[in-house]
Amino acid sequence: MNEYEKLRVKAKQIKEGYPKGTRLELNSMSSDEPDPIPPFTRGTVVAVDDIGTILMQWDNGRTLSLIPGKDTFRKLSDKECFEEKTQKNFERFSAAVDRDIFPAIETEKLSGENKRAYIKEIMEKLHALFVSVYGTDTVTPDHGYLEVPGIVRASGGEYFPALLGIDFGASGEHWRTCFITPHGIFEQDDEEPTMEQEQFLQSVIPYRYWYTINFHDDIHIDWNLCPDEIWEIISECKGKTFEQTGGMIL
């Protein structure tokens, strides 16, 4: 086998091993590169040329290619790729909520005769956005921490839409609540709540919560205690009925 054939076979092997879209992390780039990509930078394979050079799109915006045998790098595992995708989706979802949904909410409609209908409208939009970003309404422990559409209910019976910060990797541990109320949109731990928001928190805590996402390992929610009206809203905003089991109050 002559040198040309050896090169062709090697290039073929590299193409098969690093198809377009493969995620790589750089360990080190050859010392003769005057402006190397920094170690631990991640990027995506664009193509492999006929001499086995790996054409890259690095996450820092650069496009410097990799030369197998001179540069050292590794493939990301399926788990690492999934975690990356989840993090990007988290950022996309949060940005879209802040850009497209929160500014359009008319908080005054969250009180009065048409409150239920407006809560349902908000929940439908939040749930549809989540599904469009993540491609599913079912999550697993591998998704880790997410913010998901939900409804909080005070012990007195009042209920409001919310975004719930849930760690699905820790059996559904609850970390954060962003309330959507007649008094505005705010978090439970905001440093400077208005007087109306403080009064709202005093009236709503302790509260229960339920969310629209399917997750069957949550030990912090008891779906048997979900009031019919909230159950109906959650089911309607999903466009179907569903079953979940859970555990305990906040």
What is residue 203's predicted lDDT score, i.e. its pLDDT? 86
- What percentage of the chain reaches a pLDDT higher than 70? 94
What is residue 81's predicted lDDT score, i.e. its pLDDT? 96
Please, are residues 241 and 179 in contact by the beta-carbon 8 Å criterion?
no
Rounded-to-integer distance, Cα 32 and Cα 40, Å? 18
Query: Region 213-238: what's the mean pLDDT?
Result: 91
**pLDDT above 90 (res 2):** no
- The SS3 of residue 179 is strand
pLDDT tier at 1, thresholds 50, 70, 90: low
**Before 206, cis peptide (omega within 30)?**
yes
- What percentage of the chain reaches a pLDDT higher than 90? 73
Domain residue spans in the chain?
3-76, 82-238
Query: Region 3-29: what's the mean pLDDT?
Result: 89
Superfamily the domain 3-76 falls into: SH3 Domains (2.30.30.40)
Please, are residues 70 and 81 in contact by the beta-carbon 8 Å criterion?
no
- The SS3 of residue 124 is helix
Please return the burial class of 232, using the count of CB atoms within 10 Å of its CB with bins 0-12, 13-18 and 19+.
middle
Q: Which tens digit of pLDDT belongs to each residue from 79-102?
A: 999 999 999 999 999 999 999 999
pTM for the model stands at 0.84
Residue given tokens 């996402």 in the structure block: 213
How far the first Cα of the chain sits from its last, in Å, is: 70
Query: What's the residue count for the chain?
Result: 250
Please, are residues 222 and 246 in contact by the beta-carbon 8 Å criterion?
yes
Please return the burial class of 172, using the count of CB atoms within 10 Å of its CB with bins 0-12, 13-18 and 19+.
buried
What is residue 248's predicted lDDT score, i.e. its pLDDT? 31
Least reliable range by pLDDT among 122-126, 186-190, 215-219: 186-190
Residues ≥6 apart with Cβ < 8 Å to 106: 118
What is residue 242's predicted lDDT score, i.e. its pLDDT? 45
Tell me which residue of 159, 164, 247 sits closest to 213, measured CA to CA: 164
Rounded-to-integer distance, Cα 127 and Cα 213, Å? 8
Query: Region 68-81: what's the mean pLDDT?
Result: 95
Phi, psi dihedral angles at 179 (to 5 degrees): -80, 145
Q: Which tens digit of pLDDT belongs to each residue from 111-160?
A: 888 999 999 999 999 999 999 999 999 999 999 999 999 999 998 899 99
**pLDDT above 80 (res 7):** no
User: Could you write out the DSSP letters of every residue in 101-159?
Assistant: IGGG--GGGGSSTTHHHHHHHHHHHHHHHHHHHHS-SB--GGG-EEEEEEEEEETTS-E
pLDDT tier at 240, thresholds 50, 70, 90: low
User: Could you write out the DSSP letters of every residue in 206-221?
Assistant: SEEEEESSB-TT-SS-
pLDDT tier at 9, thresholds 50, 70, 90: confident
